[in-house]
Structure 1
Amino acid sequence: MLSEISASSERLAAAAEETSAISEETRNAVDTQKDQITQIATAMAEMAATVKEVERAAVNTMKTVDASTQLADKGEKIVTQNGERIAHLSEEIEHAAQVINQLDEYSSNIGAILDVIRGIADQTNLLALNAAIEAARAGEHGRGFSVVADEVRTLASRTQESTADIQRMIEELLVGTQKAVDVMKRSRDEANDCVELSESAAQALREISEGAKTINEMTTHITEATKEQASVTEEMHKNIEAISNISEQTADGAKDTHQAAKEQAELAAHLQTLVNRFKT
C-alpha cells in the first residue's frame, strides 16, 4: 500500500512538474502573442490614422481640382469670346480695306477725268490764243472778240491751275490711301494671328479642363475607396482590440494556471518528502 502511494506521489510530482513546465511555456507564448497583438493594434491604429489622412488629402485634392476645372472652363469661355471679337474685328478691318481700295479706284478715275479736263483746258487755251491773234489782225472789228478770247484764255489758265491742284491732292490722297491699305493689311494679319492664338489657348484650356475632370473622377474613386478602406481598417482595429482584450485575459489565465501548476508541483514534492520520511 505504501509502495503504491509512493509510486503515485512520484507520478503526481512528475506530472506536476511537467504541467508547470507546460504552463510556463504557455504563459511565455501567451505573453509573446499579447505583445505581438499589441504591436498589431498599434500598427492598425497608425494605419487607420494614415488612411484618414489620405482620405482628407483626397477630398482636398478633389476640391482643388474642381476649382481648377471651373477656372479652366471660365478661361476657355473668355478666350473663345475674345477670339470671336477679334475675328469680328478682322472682318471689319477687311471691310474697311475694301472701302479704301474702292476709294483708291475712285481717285484713279477722278485722275483720269482730270487728265481729260486738263487736255480740254490746253486746247481751249490754244484756241483762245489763236482767236486773240486773229482778233488782232482784224483791228477795230476784232477788239470785242479779243476781249472774249482773253477771258477764255484766263478761264483756261485757271482751269489748268485748278486741275493741277486737284491732281496734287489726289496724288497725296492716293499715297495716304496706300498707307492706310498697308496698315489695314498688317492689322488684318495681326488680328488673324490673334484669332489663331486664341483658338490655340482655348484648345489648351479645354484639354486642361478635360484632364482636370479626369483627375477629379480618379480622385473621387480614390476617395470612395479610401473611405471603404477606412471603414474596414476601423472594423479591423476594433477586432484587434477585442483580440487584444481576450489575449490579455488569456495571459492572466495562463499566469493563474502557471501559479496553480507551480503550487501543485510544490505540494507533490512535499507529499513525496512526507512519503519518504514515512518509509524510513
Structure 2
Amino acid sequence: MSIRAQILGSLGILFLVVLLMFGATWSITSQQKSDGLVINLAGRQRMEVQRIAKDVLAYAHQTAAAGSLAADVRKHLAAFTATQTLLARGGTYANGKTFTIAPPSPEVAALLDAAGRLAKPFEVEVEALLAKAEGSSAERLVAASETLVAAQDKAVARLQAETEDDVATLMTIQAGGMGLCALVFFGVLFMLGRTLQQPLSRLLAYADAVAGGNLKAVAAGSYPSELLALRDALARMVASLEAKVVEVGEKSREAEGHAAEADRALAAAREQEGRSAELLSRLNEGAGKARAISDGVMEQSAGLLGQVGQVGRGAQHQRDRMMDTATAMEEMNATVLEVARNASSAATSAAEAKDKAVIGARGVRSAVESIESIRQRILELKESMTRLGQQADSIGHIMNVISDIADQTNLLALNAAIEAARAGDAGRGFAVVADEVRKLAEKTMTATKEVGDAVVSIQGQARENISAVESAAVGIEESTRAAADSGRFMDEIVGIVEATSAQVESIATASEQQSATSEEINRAVEEVNGIARETAEGTDRATEALSAMTELLYDLDAVIRQMTGDTSSPVRSLASRPHQGTTAKALPAARPAPAKALAASRPAARALATSRPAAAKALPAAKARPAPVLLPLPKRCPPRSPNRPAMAPVVLAPSAAVCCSGMSPWPRA
C-alpha cells in the first residue's frame, strides 16, 4: 500500500471515530435535554395533583369565591390530563417556547399509562367534591392523590434511571472513542516513523554518500512503494553513472595510448621521409659523379638497391601499421560516441529520478495538507466540547435554583404545618396538604441532588473530553511537523538528484568533447597514413629508377670501355637494352636534344672499335667533350614538399646536373 493511502486511510479512520463520538455526544445531549423537560413535566404533574387536591379541599371547606376556585381546579385538571397524554405518547409542548417531546420507552410508557389509569378515580373524586355530591369524601381524594403521586414517582424514577443509563452510555462511547483515537493516532505516528521518516533518512544518507563520491554505497532496508521506486531509480542511476565513469576512464586511457602510437608512427614516417630524401639526394649526387666513379657506382648500386627495397618494405609496413592505427582510432571514436550516448542516457535516467522525487515530494505535501485539515477539524471539535462543558455548567446553575426553590417550599410546608397545628381541627386538612407539600419538597430536593450529581459527572467527563481533544490536537500538530520534516527531506533529495543529474550532464558533455578530440586524432592519423602511402609509392618509384640507372650504368660502362679500348668484358649496347617502366618510354619524347647528342657521339665509338690508334687519338677529344648521359629519375623531385609536381628524366650535362625545378644545381665530381 502506498504512503498516501496509508496516511489518508488512518486519518479517515480517525476522522470517522471523532465524527461518531461527536454524533453520539450530540444525540445523547439532545436526548438529555428532552429527558430533563420530561422530568420537569412529570414533577409538575405531581405538583398539579397536590395542588388540585389542595384546591378541592379548600373548595369543600369554604363558600366564598367557590365558583372561581372550581373553575381554577377544572382548568388545572384539564392541563394535568393533557400533560399526562403528552408524556405517555409524545408530541409538541408549548410554554412560551415550543419543545418536541419524543415518545418514551415502553417501560416508562407503561408506568405513565398506569398513572393515567389511576388518574381516573382521582378525577372522579375531584368532580364529586366539586359537585358536593353525596358519598364524596376528602379522605378518598387524598388517598387517590397519594396513589397517583406514587405512580408518578415510579415513572419519574424510571426516567431518571434511563437518563443515568444514557449518561453512562455516553461516557462509555466517549471513553472507547478516545481510546480508539489514541490507538489510531499512535498507529499513525508509528507508521510515519517506520514507513516514511526512517526510509527517507536512509535515502538521504545514501544520496549524501553518492554525492561525496562513494559510488559503491548501498541503500539498505525496507521501503514503501513510492520510496522503493525512488531507491531503485537512484540505484540504477548510480550504477549507470559508475559504469560510465569506468568506461570513460578506460576509453580515455585507450585514446591516450592510440594517440601516443599515432605520434610515434608520425615521427617514424617523417624520419622515413627524411631518409628517402637523403637517398634520393645521394642518388642524384651519384649520377653527377657517374663518369668518374662508374665502377664504384656499379658496385654500390646493388647495395643501394637493396637498401631502397628495405626502405620500401619499411614504408609498406609503416603504411600497414598506420592503416591499423586508423582502424583502431575509428573503433575508439565509435566507442567514445557510444560512451557519449550512454552518458546522455544516464542524464535522462537522472532526470526521470528527479521527476519521481518531485512526485514523492508532492505526495508528502498533500499528506501534510490532509493532516492540517484534520487538525482544523479537531480544533472545531475542541470548541464544540468547550461549548458542551459551558452548557453543562449552565444546567448546574439551573439545578441550584431548583434546589433553592425546593428548600423554600420545604420551609413553607413547615410553616403551613405549624399554622395548621395552631388551627386545631379546622386546619387538619390544611395540615395534610402541608405534609404532602413537605414530602414533595423533600422528593424534589432528592431528585435535584441526583440530577446535580449527574450534571457534575457530565461536567467532569466534558472536561476530560476537552483535555483528550486538546491532546489529540497536540498530537496532530506533531504529525503535521513530522510530515513537514518529511517534505523537507524530499525537497533535499530532489536537490541532490538535480545535482547528480547536472554531474551526469557534465560527463556527457566531456564525452562529446572527447569524441570531437578523437575525431581530430583520427583525421591526423588519416593524414599520416596518406603521407606513409605517398612515401611507399615514392620508394617504389625510386626502386624502379635505381634499376633503370643500373642498366644505364652498364651502358655507360660499355661506352667508357669502348672509348678506353678496354675489351676485358663484353660491351653492352644502349640500343640493345630497353629501359624499364615509364622511364624508357619517356626518353625519346622528353629529351630530344640529349638523344641527338648521343647519336653524334656514336661515330667516335665506331672509330674506337676499328683502330686503336684512332681511338687513342680520339680519347683526348672524348675526354675533353664527353657526351651527355640520360639519367632517369622518379616522377617527383627530391623530397622538399609532398606537393611538388611530377618531372621528366633529368639530363646530366658535362658541367652540372640541374633539378627540374631549377632551384639546386648539383656540381659534377
TM-score normalised by length of structure 2: 0.36
Q: Structure 1 CA distance, aligned partners of 2:464 and 2:326?
A: 85
Which segment is superposed worse, 55-64 or 257-266?
A: 257-266
Q: Structure 1 CA distance, aligned partners of 2:458 and 2:452?
A: 10
Q: How does 1:96-245 map to 2 (within 5 A)?
A: 96-234=381-519, 236-237=521-522, 240-241=525-526, 243-244=528-529
Unaligned ranges ≥5, structure 1: none
Q: Structure 2 CA distance, aligned partners of 1:135 and 1:22?
A: 165
Q: Structure 2 CA distance, aligned partners of 1:171 and 1:109?
A: 11
* Structure 1 counterpart of 2:568, one-letter code: F
Q: Structure 1 CA distance, aligned partners of 2:472 and 2:534?
A: 89
* Structure 1 counterpart of 2:364, one-letter code: V
Match of 1:278 among 563, 568, 573: 568
**1:63 aligned residue:** 348
* Structure 2 counterpart of 1:143, one-letter code: R
* Cα deviation, residue 56, structure 1: 1.9
* Structure 2 counterpart of 1:278, one-letter code: S
* Structure 1 counterpart of 2:353, one-letter code: S
Q: Structure 2 CA distance, aligned partners of 1:170 and 1:266?
A: 141
* Cα deviation, residue 187, structure 1: 1.9
Match of 1:92 among 357, 363, 377: 377
Q: Which has the larger radius of gyration?
A: 2
Asked whether the 8 Å contact 1:97–1:181 carries over to 2, the reply is yes
Q: Structure 1 CA distance, aligned partners of 2:433 and 2:303?
A: 162
Which segment is superposed worse, 61-70 or 215-224?
A: 215-224
**2:339 aligned residue:** 54
1:236-270 deviation digits (Å, cap 9, x = unpaired): 43553464355346436535645764786799799
Q: How does 1:5-44 map to 2 (within 5 A)?
A: 8-44=293-329
Asked whether the 8 Å contact 2:290–2:297 carries over to 1, the reply is no
Asked whether the 8 Å contact 1:20–1:265 carries over to 2, the reply is no
Asked whether the 8 Å contact 1:16–1:268 carries over to 2, the reply is no
Unaligned ranges ≥5, structure 2: 1-288, 571-669
Q: SS of the residue aligned with 1:278? A: coil
Which segment is superposed worse, 227-236 or 177-186?
A: 227-236
1:204-257 deviation digits (Å, cap 9, x = unpaired): 222232333344344444434434543453454355346435534643653564
* Structure 2 counterpart of 1:37, one-letter code: M
TM-score normalised by length of structure 1: 0.77
Q: Structure 2 CA distance, aligned partners of 1:14 and 1:53?
A: 59
Q: Structure 1 CA distance, aligned partners of 2:290 and 2:387?
A: 140
Percent identical among aligned pairs is 29
1:29-63 deviation digits (Å, cap 9, x = unpaired): 42453354244324322321321222221221222
**2:185 aligned residue:** none
- CA, structure 1 residues 141+64, in 2 after alignment: closer, same or farther (shift >3 Å)? same
Answer 1 or 2: which has greater helix percent: 1
* Cα deviation, residue 141, structure 1: 1.9
Which segment is superposed worse, 217-226 or 61-70?
A: 217-226
Q: Structure 1 CA distance, aligned partners of 2:416 and 2:522?
A: 129
- CA, structure 1 residues 240+105, in 2 after alignment: closer, same or farther (shift >3 Å)? same
Q: Structure 2 CA distance, aligned partners of 1:20 and 1:171?
A: 131
- CA, structure 1 residues 14+153, in 2 after alignment: closer, same or farther (shift >3 Å)? farther
1:139-191 deviation digits (Å, cap 9, x = unpaired): 22222322331332233233223323322332332243233223312321221
Say how many residue pairs are matched. 276
- CA, structure 1 residues 92+266, in 2 after alignment: closer, same or farther (shift >3 Å)? same
Q: Which runs of 4+ in 1 moved over 6 A?
A: 4-7, 262-272
* Cα deviation, residue 112, structure 1: 3.8
* Structure 2 counterpart of 1:193, one-letter code: E
- CA, structure 1 residues 277+123, in 2 after alignment: closer, same or farther (shift >3 Å)? farther
